Amino acid sequence: MKLLYFAWVRERIGKPEEEIELPTAVKTVGDLLGFLQERGEEYAHALAEPKAIRAAVDRVHARSDTPLTGAREVALFPPMTGG
C-alpha cells in the first residue's frame, strides 16, 4: 500500500511517501496508525497523538474505523488549515 504524509506528519516521519506491505491484521485506519507507531521512533513521534491525525483513504476523508479493504493509498496529515 502507498502511504502519503503531509505537513508536520511528513516532517516528523522524514519522508513524503512510501510503499508498505501491511500485515493482514491491519484492517482499519486506526489499525494502521497502531502498526506504524511500532515502526520506529520517528513514527512514534509523528503519530503519538492519534486524535491529532487525520486520514484520507484513496483521497476521501476517512475515520479511524474506516476499513482499508481494497484501498490503494492512505494519506496521513494534521488537521487542515486551508482557506
10 Å Cβ neighbour count for 76? 22
The residue within the footprint of other proteins, chosen from 19, 25, 70, 81 (CB under 8 A), is 81
In whole angstroms, how large is the CA radius of gyration of the chain?
12
The residue within the footprint of other proteins, chosen from 4, 22, 26, 71 (CB under 8 A), is 4
Nearest to other proteins of 9, 36 (CB atom):
9
The residue within the footprint of other proteins, chosen from 39, 45, 59, 72 (CB under 8 A), is 59
Grid cell at residue 63: 475515520
**Number of residues this chain uses to bind other proteins (CB under 8 A):** 17
- How many angstroms separate the CA atoms of 40 and 28, rounded? 20
H or E segment at 25? none
> In this structure, what are the phi and psi dihedrals at residue 42, rounded to the nearest 5 degrees?
-65, -35
Nearest to other proteins of 45, 59 (CB atom):
59
Summarize as ranges the residues that interact with other proteins (CB under 8 A): 4, 6-8, 56, 59-61, 63, 75, 77-83
